[in-house]
Amino acid sequence: MNIKYQNKVRLAAYIKEHNGVEVDPRSIFDVQVKRLHEYKRQLLNILHVMYLYNELKEHPEMDFYPRTFIFGAKAAAGYMNAKLTIKLINSVADVVNNDASINGRIKVVFIEDYRVSNAEMIFAAADVSEQISTASKEASGTGNMKFMLNGALTIGTMDGANVEIVEEVGEENAFIFGLSSDEVIKYENFGGYNPMEIFNNDPDIRKVLMQLINGAFAPNDPDMFRPLYNSLLNTLSTSKADTYFILKDFKAYADAQKKVEAAYRDEKGWARSAILNTACSGKFTSDRTIKEYVDDIWKLDKVTLRKK
């Protein structure tokens, strides 16, 4: 039994104890744990889970590698869309985890009270590190470095520290997708993006978004997730809709996730990429970071202390 699998067994036991959900440690552990903010796009992640669930329901015979999607996050008390996203994750989990027809091929877990003590298990068990913020919005990010150190492969945009991770490990050992920072800034400055066009022309995306308002995941309150729907498709003012380009990046993200599954099936290839991620993480030592601050920002002189 290798160390990664041991760590996955340990996390699976924690999830069983705290969430009451049986997860298969042989499944792909796809993890997004971080502060919940719209630019970090946990909403993109859970919409994709809904898309995969729809695929399995429509094509139960499809060849699909089991996936466990693990979320952990805290949201500011007054941040309504962030709170609603957490509610959506848990509502999707309630439906998906209890649907016997998909035979446990997708499990969704929201780990409550995400903190250092459970993060130690989560980082060590992760196969896939979700770093999917809208390009140009993430200042740096440190979670992606912890995942890298623990041999998880990054799926993400070229944003924040992802850029440096890819420089170190090589793009062939990560799954990069989506708009670039320059493309996002161009849309923000000059317009030209209308999410309604995607909604009207892509039946898969349209189905997922309609499930936000037709009670599929909130049968007792079909309008519960309407604010999320409106944030993506505000027909009154398209300039205020989909501010974080979730629909624009959705299909690119789905395609990247297909590459994740294909890569994971190649056991030796995946192991090689995981080892390279760990081996190439040395750049992110705090010693180097502090030295760069000393040299480039604080511009301090080096002091040599001599023993008496």
Q: Hey, where are the domains in the chain?
A: 3-187+241-298, 194-240
d(CA 306, CA 308): 6
Average pLDDT of span 137-142? 78
* Average pLDDT of the residues in 283-290: 80
Give the distance between the most distant pair of CA atoms in the chain: 77
**Quick one: average pLDDT of 166-186?**
96
pLDDT tens profile 46-57 = 999 999 999 999
Instruction: Quote the pLDDT of residue 307.
Output: 84
Judged against a pLDDT cut of 70, whether residue 198 lies above it is answered with yes
pLDDT tens per residue, range 65-115: 999 999 999 999 999 999 999 999 999 999 999 999 999 999 999 999 999
**Per-residue pLDDT band at 283 (split at 50, 70, 90):** confident
Q: Which of 37-51, 200-214, 276-290 is predicted with the least confidence, judged by mean pLDDT? A: 276-290
Q: pTM score > 0.85 for this model?
A: yes
Q: CA-to-CA distance for 308 and 303, rounded, in angstroms?
A: 15
Indicate if the pLDDT at residue 239 is higher than 80: no
Band of the pLDDT at 169, cuts 50, 70, 90? very high
Residue owning tokens 């150190």: 149
In whole angstroms, how far apart are CA 48 and each of 43, 106, 114, 258? 9, 12, 22, 11
What SS3 class is residue 79?
coil
* Mean pLDDT within 216-225: 96
Contact status, residue 281 vs residue 148, Cβ threshold 8 Å = yes
Q: What's the pLDDT at 63?
A: 96
Average pLDDT over the chain, rounded to an integer:
94
Q: Give the closest residue to 134 by CA, choosing from 71, 41, 44.
A: 41
Average pLDDT over residues 119-135: 97
The domain over range 3-187+241-298 is classified in CATH as 3.40.50.720: no
3-state secondary structure (DSSP) of residue 130? strand
